[in-house]
């Protein structure tokens, strides 16, 4: 047992992959540099019926640091949980197969060891397949983990975060979630316990933007209750029940629910209204985190009334959009 502990990797990097072999090798190569002492295991979890990964992984066939463990279920969260269960590292991170880490990611290990924190996050840059640099992805101002976890920001993107594996405990990625998987994961963690979280202003990696298949999928045009909204309500209930709910956290959760209500209002106003009413019960002074609600005349109206006032104009805007833009909008919300 002592020898096993001695040979255990410092960092485990879990990479789910399914039907996107184009950038997989790049992700693996970047993950191999994720620890300052070189002791890394990269757990690649192909999921679903796709087989193109075989050719990609031939490059790493003789590298003992790369472990390949397929699962039949075509679901990234199932793959992430499988990889997490296999992980042996003191620290663990999740990396999508189209993204990649920078050498700075290895410095997060030293930060966690120096501080004793549970989680270290950094900054990520958004690049697209045409080579355009979209800049650093937005990051929450709050350094309260629960407040940051509910924000719609780069903090939830897996590439940015390195976890102390023992701190994750029984938390797992939810296999019933197809969309907003990263957001639900962070909310789940916030529900579980208080996190000792540190943040570094370093570029940890790249969030790669492209128009091909995404990890999270939905059925365009078909109403799906966003699991993330339910997770936000569950977080509120858990924090209140455990006496961890502060006014700032209530405000952040309410604004997060408002975000999803506003985003979906034009397509599903009745369902969005129900979510908005729930958000108002959590924090009456909250409103959608969008600049238009800060301007006259909408700032003088109750936010739910403002949503209904805006609705005809949003319907017109949807009608005037190209079919391709409309399809993309419906897919994203």
Distance CA 328, CA 333 (A): 9
Q: Alpha-carbon torsion 180, 185, 190, 195, what sign?
A: negative
pLDDT value at residue 158: 92
> Could you tell me the domains of the chain?
2-209 (3.90.550.10), 227-332 (no CATH)
Which band of pLDDT confidence, cut at 50, 70 and 90, is reported for residue 220?
A: very low
Distance CA 311, CA 269 (A): 8
Average confidence (pLDDT) over 256-272: 93
- Pick the closest to residue 84 from 18, 33, 155, 12 (CA basis): 12
Residues 283-329 pLDDT 10s: 988 888 888 888 888 888 999 999 999 999 999 988 887 665 545 54
pLDDT value at residue 179: 87
Q: Is the pLDDT of residue 4 over 80?
A: no
Q: Alpha-carbon torsion 97, 101, 105, 109, what sign?
A: positive
pTM above 0.85, yes or no: yes
Residues 159-175 pLDDT 10s: 999 999 999 999 999 99
pLDDT value at residue 106: 97
Mean pLDDT of the chain, nearest integer: 90
Which band of pLDDT confidence, cut at 50, 70 and 90, is reported for residue 1?
A: very low
pLDDT value at residue 241: 97
Q: Is the pLDDT of residue 51 over 90?
A: no
Q: Is the pLDDT of residue 222 over 70?
A: no
Q: Is the pLDDT of residue 3 over 60?
A: no
Average confidence (pLDDT) over 141-157: 92
pLDDT value at residue 294: 87
What is the length of the chain?
A: 333
pLDDT value at residue 324: 59
Residues 69-126 pLDDT 10s: 999 999 999 999 999 999 999 999 999 999 999 999 999 999 999 999 999 999 999 9
Average confidence (pLDDT) over 214-243: 76
Average confidence (pLDDT) over 197-221: 74
Average confidence (pLDDT) over 37-56: 93
- Write 301-306 long-range contacts (CB < 8 A, 24+): 303/258, 303/276, 304/273, 304/276, 304/277, 304/280
Which percentage of the chain shows pLDDT scores above 70? 90
């Amino acid at each position: 047992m002592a020898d096993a502990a001695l040979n255990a990797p410092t960092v485990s990097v879990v990479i789910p992959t399914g039907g996107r072999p184009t950038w997989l090798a790049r992700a693996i190569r970047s993950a191999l540099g994720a620890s300052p002492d070189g002791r890394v295991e990269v757990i690649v979890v192909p999921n679903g019926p796709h087989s193109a990964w075989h050719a990609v992984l031939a490059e790493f066939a003789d590298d003992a640091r790369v472990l390949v463990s397929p699962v039949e279920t075509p679901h990234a969260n199932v793959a992430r949980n499988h990889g997490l269960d296999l992980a042996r590292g003191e620290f663990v991170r999740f990396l999508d197969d189209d993204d990649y880490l920078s050498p700075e990611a290895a410095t997060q290990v030293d930060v966690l060891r120096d501080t004793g924190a549970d989680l270290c996050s950094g900054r990520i840059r958004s690049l697209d397949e045409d080579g355009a640099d979209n800049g650093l992805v937005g990051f929450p101002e709050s350094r309260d983990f629960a407040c940051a976890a509910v924000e719609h920001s780069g903090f939830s993107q897996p590439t940015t975060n390195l976890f102390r594996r023992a701190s994750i405990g029984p938390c797992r990625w939810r296999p019933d979630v197809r969309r907003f998987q990263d957001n639900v994961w962070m909310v789940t963690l916030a529900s579980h316990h208080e996190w000792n979280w540190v943040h570094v202003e370093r570029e940890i990696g790249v969030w790669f933007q492209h128009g091909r298949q995404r990890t999270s999928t939905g059925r365009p045009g078909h109403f799906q209750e966003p699991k993330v909204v339910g997770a936000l309500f569950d977080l509120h209930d858990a924090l209140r029940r455990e006496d961890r709910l502060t006014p700032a956290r209530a405000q952040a959760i309410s604004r997060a629910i408002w975000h999803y209500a506003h985003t979906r209002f034009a397509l599903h106003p009745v369902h969005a209204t129900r979510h908005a009413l729930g958000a108002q019960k959590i924090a009456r002074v909250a409103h959608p985190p969008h600049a238009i609600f800060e301007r006259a005349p909408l700032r003088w109206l109750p936010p739910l009334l403002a949503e209904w006032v805006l609705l005809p104009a949003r319907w017109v805007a949807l009608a005037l959009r190209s079919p391709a833009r409309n399809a993309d909008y419906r897919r994203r919300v």
